[in-house]
Structure 1
């Protein structure tokens, strides 16, 4: 999951110093006023053409940065924070899951001014034209050329194997208590599967809403609860640090190995291997459950012990199977292509 970077320590320090002194990025786009709807705290869009002026700036970029005689891969994430405000994160080695070398990423803030977004650092500048970012150092030497990338999970559209339980295929929401279909035949948040599930593999695809003015747990929040007990968090955590209460986190138990959250309005996947907890005849737990999670095809948890049920879980820990619960936290998260393949006895 980490890229190989041919870089000696001297050049790495010099390159990092170049970045730390600040990158000033100008992201070009067609200027547009901020509407009254976009200024509302709860402004939400589920389609790109409804997302407003800032949407075209947010996203991921990748390329190489030059320091002394060395070129190193660099990933950049640009995050909209509402009403023309932005944040940026730079990942040496490449984007998370695509080469990042594990070093602490570099972060900064910025704002849209007319038809550009300025992401501010101490010195330096950059320009985005036609989907690419040119970054210049303080001596006005171009040190990086980054191109926009739109990553897709390799498990999108994954087909259920023979014997799997299909919970949602877009035809109806009948497999869920409280199940509701959106106008475009997607499953809405806030429902519980009628079938009870034990150990096995879960595949689920989800789409996070565009909520640029929101922050933290109020930004695209839902959750995938195995057996109604153990939550794998669903949240717009694009560009965040990757904590246990952020996207991919096993809530209150374990943060992901890396933050694989894509930008909102991009379809994402969880592929989860789950082994249920074991209980004795006296009802006491003898062994914790185990979970391995792949987020957008990348392992973010491997054989993690589920030491307790999530605090907000609708089902208490126990020996009996439990449902799949898709939490409603008041945000418009959408789901599709959900199936569960029971473990063989």
Structure 2
């Protein structure tokens, strides 16, 4: 290093050291880039930068998960989307990777069945990683199958269920899995879930695609949709929106 450059470096280091010694607050201030400004919305309104997947009007953003037909076969009435038993799962037309998702859901007010037969549905992130929807209020089932669980994988930290017929919320932060070119897993999916504003999954690692029988495994894939499950129960949904991350 040339003598002049060396002396300049010493001068800069000395100046910074002096600033630190004097407690200069500017050293820890970041001015750019500036975060974009959005309208955060309200309990009934999506943020201004969100993709509205269901606004209570129609199923224009959804198709049948079985054959891709449109419109999807579930019922839309009074701003509410309800499972029509036997029509099959539905999924979004758009596909996503990392996202923030808000879903409001309600199990039937009239309790029928018990355990897994009581107000059962599911939200499949990227069409294959299931966040369980279930009436788990005063009901007993296996812990990693109750509401707030990553189905058959990770039980919720607490049971935050409201009673049958009450509207409930899921707020989800999801990081998609990444794969090497040869199909091997590079990094697994991660999920954080607030159920009725209570943390029930804290940066949880997802073991693979949801399986009813057997262990979860990964298969390489790219962006995929959000799928809602027809489990035969008239579970309802409203105010569904998503923000890409």
Q: Give the aligned partner of residue 157 of structure 1.
A: 43
Match of 1:183 among 77, 89, 100: 77
- 1:307 Cα shift? 1.1
Query: 1:282: Cα distance to partner?
Result: 1.1
Indicate the residue corresponding to 2:221 in structure 1: 319
Cα contact 1:211–1:219 (8 A) shared by 2:
no
Counterpart contact for 1:249–1:256, Cα < 8 Å: yes
Q: Counterpart of 2:143 in 1: which secondary structure?
A: coil
Q: Which residue of 2 aligns with 1:206?
A: 105
* CA displacement at 1:184 relative to structure 2: 2.2
1:124-182 Cα deviation digits (max 9, x unpaired): xxxxxxxxxxxxxxxxxxxxxxxxxxxxxxx9825322332110001111101033333
- The SS at the match of 1:217 is helix
Q: Distance in 1 between matches of 2:186 and 2:153?
A: 19
Aligned with 1:221 (options 120, 125, 139): 120
Number of equivalenced pairs: 187
CA contact (8 A) 2:123 2:226 kept: yes
CA contact (8 A) 1:156 1:269 kept: no
- Which residue in 2 is equivalent to 1:85? none
The question of 1:306 aligning with 2:206 is answered yes
Distance in structure 2 (CA, Å) of the matches to 1:298 and 1:195: 28
Query: Hey, which bits of structure 1, 4+ residues long, moved more than 3 A?
Result: none
Answer whether contact 1:248 1:295 (CA < 8 A) is retained. Answer: yes
1:192 lines up with 2:91 in the alignment: yes
Structure 1 vs Structure 2 CA RMSD: 2.1
1:197 shift after superposition: 1.2
Judge conservation of contact 1:211–1:220 (CA < 8 Å) in 2: no
Q: Secondary structure at the match of 1:238?
A: coil
Q: For residue 157 of structure 2, what is the aligned residue in structure 1? A: 257
How far apart, CA to CA, are the structure 2 residues paired with 1:213 and 1:332? 11
1:191, distance to aligned residue in structure 2 (A): 1.3
Counterpart secondary structure, 1:244: helix
Deviations 1:62-109 (A, max 9, x none): xxxxxxxxxxxxxxxxxxxxxxxxxxxxxxxxxxxxxxxxxxxxxxxx
For residues 193 and 284 of structure 1, the distance between their equivalents in structure 2, rounded to whole angstroms, comes to: 27
Correspondence list, 1:31-180, <5 A:
157=43, 159-178=45-64, 179=72, 180=74
How is 1:229-244 mapped onto 2 (pairs within 5 angstroms)?
229-240=128-139, 243-244=143-144
Residue 148 of structure 2, aligned match among 232, 248, 252: 248
Alignment partners' CA distance in 2, 1:214 and 1:176: 29
Q: How far did 1:185 drift?
A: 3.0
- The 1:268–1:156 alpha-carbon spacing in structure 2 relative to 1, beyond 3 Å, is farther
* Rg larger in structure: 2
How far apart are the structure 2 equivalents of 1:158 and 1:307?
Answer: 33
Cα distance 1:194–1:310, how it changes in 2: closer, same or farther (>3 A)? same
Name whichever structure is richer in helix by fraction.
2
Do the aligned partners of 1:227 and 1:322 also contact (CA within 8 Å) in 2?
Answer: yes
TM-score, with normalisation over the residues of structure 2? 0.71
Do the aligned residues in 1 keep the contact of 2:110 with 2:165 (CA within 8 Å)? no
